[in-house]
A and B are shown apart, each in its own frame.
Chain A
Amino acid sequence: MSGIAKGFQYTLNQLTKEKVTYDYPRKPIPLPDRFRGIQKFHPEKCIVCNQCMSICPTGCINLTGKKHPDPTKRGKIIDTYDLNFETCILCDLCTEVCPTGAITMTNNFELAEYSRDGLLKNLQWLDENDENIREESIL
């Protein structure tokens, strides 16, 4: 019976210990800087190199580019950028290959939507997602 008594004593000792649970929906959860949340897209930095699209293991990124409006400048600028969060696994490979840092991770993770269509995010939405952006860069 001594084993059971020791168990009770151990549990009783915990009563005075500090609380370990989070008051999550009311207070935001503290997350580290490297946390892989929903991506932020910087359209002005994108050079339409297509590397994020080709590295994506689930093929959830779709992008198109257009000619630079300024005829004196070469290269392309981004036209559309769609990210499908139905298939995105937030693996962070897109930010790893981006040569200009046009796509970065944020600490935002709340993605619940009422319809599946709501999970298809476009360029404007990803551009406006500009809170809690990761500071540390892998470049």
Chain B
Amino acid sequence: MIRTEEMLLNVGPQHPSTHGVFRLVIKIDGEIITEAKPVIGYLHRGTEKLAENLQYTQIIPYTDRMDYVSAMTTNYVFCHAVETLAGIEVPERAEYIRVISMELSRIASHLVWFGTFLLDLGAVSPFLFAFREREMILNFLNELTGARLTFNYMRVGGVKWDVPEGWLEKVKDFIPYMREQLSGYHNLAIGNEIVQSRLKGIGKYTPKEAISYSLSGANLRCTGIHSDVRKIKPYSIYEHFNFKEAIRNEGDCWSRLECRIEEISESLNIIEQAIEQFPKTGEILGKVPKIIKAPPGETYVSIESPRGEISCYIASDGKKEPYRVKFRRPSFHNLQILPKLLIGQNISNLIVILGAIDIILGEVDG
């Protein structure tokens, strides 16, 4: 009888498929994983502690660096929390700009995920196509905010810049182009039998497990649970738009891919409606004092980021700096189910399961 020896293997922290500095210590028996232990913290910068010594406006650039693939949503969750605590009203035009930029960011984020996920599977060309479209979105956001990734665009009470001339028209023209490309992705990779057989039935979990591990976003919706914060607890102006929540029932890697692809097309629908309803005139920044002081108290808000439910808790003692800031970072929570999913799997499925969770290490480590 052939006897296999148990081997300890380090995956990461510099392995490209770990999407950052994520380390995984696994024990393998032949090709089967018997134990997996994630090691995190290589990118920990202590954002929450740093925030205690910074004014509210100064914290916004730090939120850019948490979820650096979709910085608009982390910008928004912090500003939204301060606005809720201080009771600041945001002009409608600013809200529309925020929604358009957040949804563009969501599409860019899902494109990064789609490209790199298939790259992990061994398909190189979808990555190039996805990044081509992402580059167009980054150019739009660069034109609007002056940066490609770390936008620092949202402000407490509004946004920093108004939309440049002709920008909305360009975004409007991008929508049909992106829809065409999405159908191209179906031809290129999603409809590919090899991709499907690699993903179907892999990394499966039940709705009960998903809830007990506190998963959110596409990781939870792939098990059939309604959890889109934009639908169940609308914030900003999301109740003005008609869009569907991407839901699947299988709970495997394939259903997560389908959920995210559907989310891209729903985001396009939201942007289309937002451009149609866009107010022609109006302020972009509400009445906000130069030095913001939130009244003593605490608040907790949550929004839907591309990775799941991102929340911000602020406790204030009435000073210009917050007393405590806490972010519920969806990548961190989603990652917790990984050791459970990996046990008993073939080592070739490791990167697929990790990739399907969609983690951003800046967010995991805070």
Q: Which residues of A pack against B, CB within 8 Å?
A: 1, 3-4, 6-7, 9-11, 14, 20, 31-32, 34-36, 55-57, 89-93, 96, 105, 136, 138
Contact = CB atoms under 8 A, between A and B. Distances in A.
B194 interface: yes
Contact of B188 (A10, A32, A93, A136): A10
B278 interface: no
A137 B129 CA distance: 36
Nearest to B54: A57
Given A6-B187, A6-B191, A31 B142 contact: yes
B160 A89 contact: no
A4 B55 CA distance: 55
B147 A36 contact: yes
A56 B55 CA distance: 10
Contacts of B146: 32, 34-36, 92, 105
Interface of B: 54-55, 57-59, 61-62, 125, 129, 132, 135, 142-147, 150, 152, 160-161, 164, 184, 187-189, 191-194, 196
A11 B192 CA distance: 13
A89 B62 CA distance: 10
A55 B146 CA distance: 19
A9 B187 contact: yes
B194 A4 contact: yes
Contact of A96 (B147, B160, B192): B160
Q: Which of A31, A34, A96 is packed against the most chain B CB atoms within 10 Å? A: A34
A81 to B, nearest CB: 20
Given A4-B192, A138-B160, A138-B161, A32 B58 contact: no
A93 B146 CA distance: 12
Contact of B61 (A4, A31, A91): A91
Contacts of A7: 187-189, 191-192
B125 A11 contact: yes
Contacts of A1: 193
Nearest to B185: A10
A131 to B, nearest CB: 17
Contacts of B160: 92, 96, 138
24 contacts: A3-B193, A4-B193, A4-B194, A6-B187, A6-B191, A7-B187, A7-B192, A20-B135, A34-B142, A34-B143, A34-B144, A34-B145, A34-B146, A34-B161, A34-B164, A35-B142, A57-B62, A89-B61, A91-B152, A92-B152, A93-B61, A93-B152, A96-B160, A138-B160
A50 to B, nearest CB: 14
Contacts of A91: 61, 150, 152
A130 B189 CA distance: 48
Contacts of B59: 57
A119 B196 CA distance: 50
A91 B54 CA distance: 14
Contacts of B129: 14
Nearest to A51: B290
B191 A3 contact: yes
A31 B61 CA distance: 21
Given A20-B135, A96-B160, A55 B193 contact: no
Contacts of A32: 142-143, 146, 164
A32 B125 CA distance: 29
A89 B60 CA distance: 12
